[in-house]
Amino acid sequence: MSQNSRERILARIRSAVADAPETPDVPRTYLARHTPDDPDAVLDLLHENLADYRAHVHRTDEAGLPALIARRLEERGARRVVVPDGLPAEWLAGTAAEPVPDDRLTPAALDAVDAVVTGCALAVAETGTLVLDGGPGQGRRALSLVPDLHVCVVREEQVVASVPEALPRLDPRRPLTWISGPSATSDIELDRVEGVHGPRTLEVVLVRGARFAAG
């Protein structure tokens, strides 16, 4: 049946467009980015846009990272923290929370942890977006979804300005999750409210990069 429909649909498409004129190339005259090429300005913009959609944004350097993560977890009352494979051990070195390794935790088991700490594949400044691709330190998709607190670490060199700059840097064969602030809804009177099914709290830690260390 389905095989039959496949041929039928394809035949219908071919006959529908048989007389249609050829379409010219797509004009890509839109901008590759809307932000000047200045790393400080781009980082500030990411900070601003994340905060605008109610993420809590913090800044530190490599040395200050463990203490900052520990503080964030403590202030949010997180006692059990799920740890994605490949997360740098020193990131959680300062925390008193119990690390829970991801041994194929069931959704219900994940629901019983308080928080997750991850890295990311990149971040997009103009839209205030973090992109996770399941690489080392990011874990499978469920990890950054079920726990109610997500602490995400972004290194300065991972920040791009725009969506057109982000896509070529991502591998579509990997499962990708684009996160712009905590979960939200506009379903009641088209007014935005934060906090529905995904983590209700998103803490983002921006880590200053080698640029400063070297300078």
Partner 1 sequence: MSGVFVGMPAFPEAVRSAVRDERLRRNLRHATHTIRDKRARAVAELADWAELREAGKRIKDRTLRHLDAHLLRLEEAVTASGGTVHWAADSDEANRIVADLVKATGETEVVKVKSMATQEIGLNEHLEAEGIRAYETDLAELIVQLGEDRPSHILVPAIHRNRGEIRDIFRDTMGRWGRPAPEGLSDSPAELAEAARLHLREKFLRAKVGVSGANFMVAETGTLVVVESEGNGRMCLTLPETLISVVGVEKVVPEWRDLEVFLQTLPRSSTAERMNPYTSMWTGTTDADGPKTFHLVLLDNGRTDALADEVGRQALRCIRCSACLNVCPVYERAGGHAYGSVYPGPIGAILTPQLRGTASEVDASLPYASSLCGACYEVCPVAIDIPEVLVHLREKVAGQGGKGHRLEKAAMKAAGWVLDHPGVLAAGERLASKTRGLHPRKLPGPGARQWTDHRDLPGLPTEPFRDWWKKNRPADPPGDRA
Of residues 59 through 98, those in contact with partner 1 by CB under 8 A are none
Residue from 156, 106, 159, 108 nearest 129 by CA: 159
Number of residues engaging partner 1 in binding (CB under 8 A): 74
Among 41, 167, 210, 213, binds partner 1 (CB under 8 A): 167
Specify the stretch interacting with partner 1 by CB under 8 A; choose among 57-65, 67-75, 114-122, 186-194: 186-194
Site membership for partner 1, residue 201 (CB under 8 A) = no
Question: H-helix or E-strand containing 160?
Answer: strand 159-160
Q: Is-contact 122 166, C-beta < 8 A?
A: yes
Residue from 30, 89, 96, 103 binding partner 1 (CB under 8 A): 30
Query: According to CB under 8 A, which one of 77, 174, 211, 212 is a site residue for partner 1?
Result: 174
Spatial separation of the C-alpha atoms in residues 77 and 185, rounded to whole Å: 25
| Cβ proximity to partner 1, 64 vs 164, nearer residue | 164
Rule CB under 8 A: say whether 12 interacts with partner 1: yes
Q: CA nearest 153: which of 75, 207, 84?
A: 207
- In the Cβ-directed half-sphere of 153, how many Cα atoms lie within 13 Å? 28
